[in-house]
Amino acid sequence: MSGRGGGGGGGGRRRGGGRRSDSRPDHSSPAPDQSANRGGRGGRGRGYGSPDAGGSRPAPEFHAPANFPPLSSSSPSASTSAASLSREFDKSLTLQSPSSAPVRHQPSDPVRPQPQTPIPRQAQPQPQTFAPRPAQTHHTTPVPSQPQPQTPAPRPAQTHPTTPVPSQPQPQTPAPRPAQTHPTTPVPSQPQASASSSSSEQATEIEVPPSTSKAITFPRRPGFGTLGKKCTVRANHFQVEVEDRDYYHYDGDVTITPEVISKTLNRTIMSQLVELYKVSHLGQRNPAYDGSKSLYTAGPLPFNSKEFIVKLVKGEDEAGPRREREFKVAIKLAAKCDLYQLQQFLRGKQLNAPQEIIQILDVALRASPSANYTVVGRSFFSTRLGPKGVLPEGLEYWRGYYQSLRPTQMGLSLNIDVSARSFYEPILVTEFVAKHVKPQDVSKPMSDKERIMVRRALKGVKVQLTHREYVKRYKIADVSRQPTNQLTFTPDDEGPRISVAQYFRQKYNIVLKYANWPSLQAGSDTKPIYLPMEVCKIVEGQRYTKKLNESQVSVMLRATCQRPNVREENIVAMVKRNNFSQDKLLREDFGIRIKEEPTLVDARVLPPPRLKYHDSGREANVHPQVGQWNMIDKKMVNGGTVQFWTCLNFSYKLRNVETATTICNELVNMCVSKGMQFSANSLLPIRSVNPSQIEEALIGVHDQSKARLASMGQNGKQLQLLIIILPDQSGSYGKIKRICETELGIVSQCCKPSNLTRLSKQYFENVALKINVKVGGRNNVLSDAIQRRIPLVSDLPTIIFGADVTHPQPGEDSSPSIAAVVASMDWPEITKYRGLVSAQHHREEIIQDLYKTTVDPQRGVIHGGMIRELLIAFRRSTGYKPHRIIFYRDGVSEGQFNQVLLYEMDAIRKACASLEDGYLPPVTFVVVQKRHHTRFFPTDPRSRDLADRSGNVLPGTVVDTKICHPTEFDFYLNSHAGIQGTSRPTHYHVLFDENKFTADILQMLTNNLCYTYARCTRSVSIVPPAYYAHLAAFRARYYIEGDTSDVGSSSGTRDRNVEVRLLPAVKENVKDVMFYC
């Protein structure tokens, strides 16, 4: 029915499709993983060890650091103070390089294919100064182009019998480097420069030779870790054996006419083709089909190219009456593959993974479940895989499993994990709306707010009509602005206009009960099809792609959170249920066999670091037990000072001023007891304010505090802390943070009213930890940092970066992605991190503003960007320029490794070179991956030597063997203690390493840093710089979206040339502290 009520013509097209690989899972709102483990209140984590950790060394004697030339930047904070900063340093210090500083005047070394022995340190090298590079030698190669990996020799036919891909023996550890030489000098000293740089705010543009991703090879594993207590764990990896056969790829020209978008329908068509033509035309072969353009067989088909006709009868799954449809399927040979290159790769004799043969085997392994279950990316869900459950607001969850084939040190491994996913409940749309929107009075028209909520929840959802003799389905495109009883159209494009409600009464004798509600709209804007909600039922099996709210997440976690032993049992049961050994396609055609027992893996438990607190406390040194400790008898190692503060109370429940005053007194006393200098009296009286007047109240506090300080003779001072008791209803946090941090320059601490009613000392202690770092203090430091005993960190000024990009939730097509970069500012303690944020194009993963240039008509090229600004801030804070960079990059999937490394290393190189000619500190670039499906299970969950109280592996458990990459430098680290559910280890993969880390040194450094997270007294599950970047990016999203985004979905293709909505700038005094904590 074009422009008509629900019943009439116009067939609806079904759409479907899969999702990309779950190395970074869907950006939709997955049901939370069946683990609520975050390693602490909002935490994730790990820790650091003893001087034996990879060879400690004495701290070298320091000379004053080398002189930066005057700096320029297009970023506000850098540009305003760069020249004065350089002049002040020139006046106050004679700045020269520390001995053995890794300063280089040559292009960076290529990524080494094999570990190299470091050059021994020269005895007492002379201090060096920097000079401008000669123009002809000015190279700042970001990631040097690597030689192309050698193509393996042609496969000798006689040497490969039909044997499975062998399990790999453990690669031999390279001979240990001399202990006295490795940790000291990552890069040899350069010859002394002949002249110092001239001072100028103008800079010439940095030119960098182009690199290509084809030339990239990642560092080889420098050996296996040896530190820690050895143990064995089980991993949810199942070994795969493959017989040596020839495989054929029919690709690109597997075309189906007319074009079909649904992978499910594609598979139905191909299944029918095999059934019809297997004997007569396919040579009795069973192909594996990916649902799109690729078809694979074990052995050749008896043709190179052929077209087939397949006829399907429309069934109940299709819209409209039953009728026959004809499809043409063209199949053409694309390539022949075998296992030789895969075998060479697994043996370490070939650098690049042969993705084509891995894809063939993966498609074969996914063929049977793809035909039987609902496919979501690399996961499969079905009500046959476990009981479904109800979620609030019209949703339900289905159980299923994740599956991925991976090349590892032991050969091929099938990673399988149980999971759950949210789906729309198959109910009438009116029932869904009642649950999801909860309208006050169904007899009244919906408000605009309610209608928008319905539109956002149901756009793109398929519904089927309930008032027809046969099933007919439509996809919802919109929701009408008018109520159904006022929404008019012309039936059959002729005659007078009538309302949709009248049409249904006349044609179907249906009196609509919800005539005051809007209608659903299918079809197009030019030919709309109006469907009353009460005659539409949501089609079963549709994934809910929006972000789950707090109540839905809570129910999902309670229902699916499983202790490790239960999760392991369910994974093994899922493998047996799939019965891979009896799958004819796998066993007979492709020669694939899968072991049904989880893999036993050698692991080690790294020792926790010693933590240093203030000597005035009764416990100044702490040795954490099982990843946690407490603040009893301890004082912050550097307590911050809060002289000027006040409080605003927006809670109605706590509106009594005396109650708010009591709360503030308890919080102040806690801060003082933990070592802070905190004034007992507020600068302004504590006030209770109506939550509808948030902006006015914040501006008022800002203006009144300035006036009050001026009257006290404290000109130039400002309010140091604003304590805020949030409104009882959620939704104001984002607005408060935006106003405070980007408009007024106020550092704030928000508290939920529900957490304050009991006056819990534990809660006030946690808030005190956050307040201290927000006012410039430190909570604790690593003892090894104080004693200068952290290898490859303590010997030379080292800056540690963390970076992350967060994307808007699905459907928010007009919202930008947010990039955040944080960097340590307090070498050698490495606990304070300054954070910067930037908006970029929607779902752009590469960080665009690491380095940037602008052209000024008078000043020429002006250099800026987040890396440059943070390097300047590090020098301002420590008095040294960084001589070593460690960069932890969160949120990158394996498919993006090359692209991210090329662009972001290029930006790091350019930012460094823009500060000083020839300034190229060595960089180690580590990707941090949390969104994976590898889990570890203790062999005896009841043993306290192997498991914590939750039954998870112990904090500090590290794995770099068997299930890790065959040749590259990666490891899994479970750095936190479990709370509930099954702990998820973090995967660290080194993409670039000029600092020549050993496995032990990098694993210990990463683990120990996880004990320095500022917001709790637990080790966290992800290295803090990456965690802080994640927090900073989410804070910045509040600046543009508030607590919930009201931006609607847009249709069509996004224009990459559309200008990105800029973030409001964070005030300088706020950026100086860890405001995002």
Per-residue burial over 844-867, b = 16 or more CB atoms within 10 Å of its CB, e = otherwise: bbbbbbbbbbeeeeeeebbbbbbb
Helix/strand/coil (H/E/C) assignment for every residue in 117-166: CCCCCCCCCCCCCCCCCCHHHCCCCCCCCCCCCCCCCCCCHHHCCCCCCC
Lowest mean pLDDT among 153-167, 641-655, 877-891, 913-927: 153-167
Token pair, residue 112, equals: 């080494």
Is a pLDDT exceeding 80 seen at residue 52?
no
Where does the pLDDT of residue 16 fall: very low under 50, low under 70, confident under 90, or very high at 90 and above? very low
The span from the CA of 294 to the CA of 270, in Å, is 11
**CB-facing half-sphere around the CA of 1072: CA atoms within 13 A:** 13
* pLDDT of the residue at 755: 94
Nearest to 880 by CA among 828, 836, 920: 828
Phi and psi (nearest 5°) for 1001?
-65, -45
Where does the pLDDT of residue 264 fall: very low under 50, low under 70, confident under 90, or very high at 90 and above? confident
Token pair 């439509």 is found at 474
Distances (CA, A) of 917 to 67, 82, 87, 446: 12, 16, 18, 65
Nearest to 890 by CA among 1034, 1036, 1032, 1022: 1022
DSSP 410-440: TEEEEEEEEEEEEEE--SBHHHHHHHHT--S
Q: What is the mean pLDDT of residues 833-847?
A: 94
Q: What is the mean pLDDT of residues 44-70?
A: 38
> What does the CA dihedral 586, 591, 592, 595 come to, rounded to 10 degrees?
110
Is residue 722 within 8 A of residue 740, CB to CB? The reply is yes
Q: What is the mean pLDDT of residues 406-419?
A: 97
The span from the CA of 54 to the CA of 72, in Å, is 39
Query: Which residues are CB-neighbours of 396 under 8 A, at least 6 positions away?
Result: 388, 389, 390, 422, 423, 424, 425
* pLDDT of the residue at 526: 87
Is residue 1014 within 8 A of residue 43, CB to CB? The reply is no
The span from the CA of 237 to the CA of 873, in Å, is 45
Q: pLDDT tens, 494-503?
A: 778 999 999 9
The span from the CA of 974 to the CA of 971, in Å, is 10
The span from the CA of 916 to the CA of 793, in Å, is 22
Q: Residue 877 class from Cβ within 10 Å (0-12 exposed, 13-18 middle, 19+ buried)?
A: middle
* pLDDT of the residue at 560: 87
* pLDDT of the residue at 108: 36
Is a pLDDT exceeding 90 seen at residue 424?
yes
3-state SS class at 668 = helix
* pLDDT of the residue at 249: 95
Q: What is the mean pLDDT of residues 819-831?
A: 97
Where does the pLDDT of residue 493 fall: very low under 50, low under 70, confident under 90, or very high at 90 and above? confident
Cβ atoms within 10 Å, residue 258: 8
Nearest to 354 by CA among 495, 628, 195, 151: 151
| DSSP 8-state class, residue 750 | E
Residue with the larger pLDDT of the pair 360 and 655: 360
The span from the CA of 869 to the CA of 857, in Å, is 22
Where does the pLDDT of residue 810 fall: very low under 50, low under 70, confident under 90, or very high at 90 and above? confident
| Whether the predicted model's global pTM rises above the 0.85 cut | no
Q: pLDDT tens, 691-701?
A: 999 999 999 99
Lowest mean pLDDT among 68-82, 593-607, 999-1013: 68-82
Nearest to 957 by CA among 981, 936, 940: 936
Residue with the larger pLDDT of the pair 39 and 548: 548
Is a pLDDT exceeding 80 seen at residue 905?
yes
Q: What is the mean pLDDT of residues 95-122?
A: 36
Is residue 783 within 8 A of residue 610, CB to CB? The reply is yes
* pLDDT of the residue at 215: 56
Cα angle, residue 512 at apex, residues 511 and 517 outer, rounded to 5°: 160
Distances (CA, A) of 482 to 495, 511, 517, 530, 855: 21, 18, 8, 11, 52
Token pair, residue 1064, equals: 């409001």
Q: What is the mean pLDDT of residues 904-916?
A: 96
* pLDDT of the residue at 547: 87
Q: What is the mean pLDDT of residues 873-882?
A: 96
